[in-house]
Amino acid sequence: MRILKYNGKLVEEVGHTINGDTVVFIRYCRPEDMPKCECGRPIDREISIVEGCRNWNESIEGVDTLPPKLI
């Protein structure tokens, strides 16, 4: 799966569906980036977004990752 940035925060792709449009499901990588409840604890929730839509183009950035280690 991919590592991306959503609104400047690191997220990981946890799944996707292809049914006409590609819907990508992402989760925050770090607890401090997650939205907080009233008590201040992070809320681990999944975000769904259609790949290539306007929201995707404005909110998602690619992240350079290291290539797999060559053996």
Q: What is the pLDDT of residues 41-53, one digit of tens each?
A: 888 889 999 999 9
| pTM of structure | 0.79
Q: How far apart are CA 10 and CA 34, in angstroms?
A: 10
| 70 occurs within a structural domain | no
Given a cut of 80, whether residue 71 has pLDDT beyond it is: no
The total of structural domains in the chain comes to: 1
Whole-angstrom distance, CA of residue 41 vs CA of residue 35: 8
pLDDT of residue 18: 86
Residue with the bigger pLDDT between 21 and 1: it is 21
Whether the predicted pLDDT of 68 surpasses 80: no
40 domain residue, yes or no:
yes
Reference 63, options 7, 16, 10; nearest CA is: 10
Domain that holds residue 53: 3-59
Q: What is the pLDDT of residue 7?
A: 92
- Evaluate whether 34 touches 28 at the Cβ level (below 8 Å): yes
